[in-house]
Structure 1
Amino acid sequence: DAKSLQFMAKDAFWQLEEYRRNLERAAIVYANEFGHKPPETGVCLPDVALYAAGHRKCGQITAR
């Protein structure tokens, strides 16, 4: 049964590859969640939300 042995070997190889991909994916998620890095977008969303809510440092903003 060489075919089934080959199939089992390929299946084991693909399971190992999937396991490695899942580990890498989990490491990326963990680093993004707990890494305390600055946001990659360059915009701090809480500051944007505060600005949108009207909490601004200057008293008067006028459009020119």
Structure 2
Amino acid sequence: MMVPTGLMATNLTIEAPVIEFLVFALLLTVPFDLLRKRFLRRQRRLDEAFNRARFLGIGRAR
């Protein structure tokens, strides 16, 4: 006797609008996530440079 698995077991049908929404959500969120990672990387570099300069006393007001 075969036991149905996955989507066949639940008799679930995914409607086209649901699939369109999932694709749209994926296409919308991925570029923003990549931009956020790039921004965070750049911000971390700037913070490291600032801390290095502060440690060395560069640009300190006398």
Bin the TM-score by the shorter chain: 0.5 to 0.7
CA distance in structure 1 between the partners assigned to 2:24 and 2:37 by the alignment:
20
1:49 aligned partner: none
CA distance in structure 1 between the partners assigned to 2:23 and 2:45 by the alignment:
33
The verdict on how the C-alpha distance between 1:7 and 1:37 changes in structure 2, with shifts beyond 3 A counting, is farther
CA distance in structure 1 between the partners assigned to 2:21 and 2:40 by the alignment:
28
Number of residue pairs the alignment of both structures matches: 42
Unaligned 5+ runs, structure 1: 45-64
Sequence identity (%):
7
1:38 aligned partner: 58
TM-score if structure 1 supplies the norm length? 0.54
Query: What is the RMSD computed on CA atoms of the aligned residues?
Result: 1.8
Unaligned 5+ runs, structure 2: 1-18
TM-score if structure 2 supplies the norm length? 0.55
2:10 aligned partner: none
Does the alignment pair 1:4 with 2:4? no
Q: Which has the higher helix share?
A: 2
Q: 1:3 Cα shift? A: 2.1
1:55 aligned partner: none
